């Protein structure tokens, strides 16, 4: 019995609907021609906070009791979850205590602050992050909202695929999402398997951070020890709940190198006029690097987010961009 059901995802979709965007599904004839198949892009880069993470964060905060909300929420994150949780908390009248490693980029710090999150910095180690969060939870009574290893988070992220499958009207042959912690892939797998049992479901993972692939192949959960990839959103270890779902419901994990990721990212920027982060572009790379497999298929891919630090792009190294 899995930790998340399609009913959980359906309920999450109703719960978060007033707070998140129903994001558009776009496509590009030119990219279809290049790929030799039909690709629909579900644009979660256009979601609140610029990432699907807004879905899970709202789903989690909306299920707190009044007493819990009064004490706030806390998490440790250097990325999109921190911003999403800060936004969800502030809109629901709740305080967000965010622990960030002291090497977090100025752009990410600014994002969390702009959504009202209260930041505590700590050393850039997992041990220091966890210790700092626990100390905050103890001091304030705030509820810990983890970034992916949680049924509420997985159900929330699964609403992106639920929406996507409705928007594409049962026409997809194949669904691909990035896999980092596994919230999006796990939730998508539950939604996809329930709504279209014959759908093929893949995760796309950087070969420099291939813990989900290794775990999937061996059938045993393995942590990510020394990630080395441009896709900063996919460097984390896949969660244990997430891995259980993925190993039960997903068909395979496709590995991509950084060069393919940057090429796909450039294509999306220049041809679709969409700002996506490397962790998003990996799903297009998965198709473009496996043309024979996808030839003539109708492939749905989820662009997970668009939060790039414009000054840190691979083609713009060392140049400062006036972020607002």
With the CA atoms of 215, 284, 160 and 88 taken in that order, what torsion angle do they form, in degrees rounded to the nearest 10? 90
Binding of residue 117 to a second copy (CB under 8 A): no
Distance CA 118, CA 125 (A): 20
Q: Interface with a second copy by CB under 8 A: which range of 70-78, 186-194, 265-273, 281-289?
A: 265-273
Q: What is the H or E stretch that residue 158 is in?
A: helix 151-167
Name which position in 13, 100, 276, 285 contacts a second copy (CB under 8 A): 276
Binding of residue 259 to a second copy (CB under 8 A): no
Distance CA 96, CA 300 (A): 34
Gyration radius of the chain's alpha carbons: 18
- Tell me if residue 53 is catalytic: yes
Name which position in 42, 48, 53, 152 contacts a second copy (CB under 8 A): 48
Name which position in 131, 269, 290, 298 contacts a second copy (CB under 8 A): 269
Binding of residue 306 to a second copy (CB under 8 A): yes
Strands 38-43 and 25-26: antiparallel
Helices (H), ranges, 168-239: 183-195, 211-218
- Tell me if residue 78 is catalytic: yes
Q: How far is CA 16 from CA 12, 143, 156, 158, 252, in A?
A: 6, 19, 8, 12, 30
Binding of residue 127 to a second copy (CB under 8 A): no
DSSP 8-state class, residue 238: P
Active-site hit among 42, 53, 95, 108: 53
Binding of residue 271 to a second copy (CB under 8 A): yes
Binding of residue 291 to a second copy (CB under 8 A): no
User: Mask 87-116, x = binds a second copy (CB under 8 A)?
Assistant: ---------------------------x--
| Helix, coil or strand: residue 286 | helix
Binding of residue 274 to a second copy (CB under 8 A): yes
Q: Interface with a second copy by CB under 8 A: which range of 24-32, 158-166, 183-191, 253-261?
A: 24-32
| Helix, coil or strand: residue 69 | helix
Per the CB < 8 A criterion, the answer to whether 241 and 235 are in contact is no
Q: Interface with a second copy by CB under 8 A: which range of 59-67, 142-150, 205-213, 262-270?
A: 262-270
**Could you list the residues that contact a second copy (CB under 8 A)?**
21, 24, 26, 29-30, 45-46, 48, 50, 114, 263, 266-267, 269-276, 306-307, 310, 315-316, 319-324
């Amino acid at each position: 019995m899995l930790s998340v059901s399609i009913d959980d995802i359906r309920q999450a979709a109703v719960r978060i609907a007033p707070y998140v965007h129903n994001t558009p599904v776009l496509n590009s004839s030119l990219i279809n021609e290049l790929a030799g198949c039909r690709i629909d892009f579900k644009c979660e880069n256009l979601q609140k906070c610029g990432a699907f993470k807004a879905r899970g964060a709202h789903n989690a905060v909306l299920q707190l009791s009044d007493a819990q909300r009064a004490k706030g929420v806390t998490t440790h994150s250097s990325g999109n979850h921190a911003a999403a949780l800060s936004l969800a908390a502030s809109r629901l009248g709740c305080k967000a205590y965010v622990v960030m490693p002291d090497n977090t980029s100025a752009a990410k710090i600014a994002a969390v602050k702009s959504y009202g999150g209260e930041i505590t910095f700590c050393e850039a180690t997992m041990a220091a992050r966890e210790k700092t969060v626990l100390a905050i939870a103890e001091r304030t009574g705030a509820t810990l909202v983890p970034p992916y290893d949680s049924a509420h988070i997985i159900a929330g992220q699964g609403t992106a695929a639920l929406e996507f499958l409705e928007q594409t009207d049962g026409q997809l042959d194949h669904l691909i999402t990035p896999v980092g912690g596994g919230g999006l892939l796990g939730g998508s797998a539950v939604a996809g398997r329930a709504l279209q049992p014959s759908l093929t479901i893949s995760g796309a993972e950087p070969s420099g951070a291939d813990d989900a692939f290794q775990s999937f192949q061996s059938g045993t959960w393995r942590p990510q020890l020394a990630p080395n990839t441009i896709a900063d959103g996919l460097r984390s270890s896949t969660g244990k709940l997430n891995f259980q779902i993925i190993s039960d419901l997903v068909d395979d994990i496709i590995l991509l190198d950084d060069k393919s990721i940057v090429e796909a990212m450039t294509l999306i920027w220049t041809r679709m006029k969409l700002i996506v982060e490397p962790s998003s572009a990996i799903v297009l790379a998965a198709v473009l690097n496996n043309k024979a497999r996808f030839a003539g298929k109708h492939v749905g891919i989820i662009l997970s987010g668009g939060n790039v630090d414009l000054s840190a792009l691979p083609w713009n190294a060392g140049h400062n961009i006036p972020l607002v």
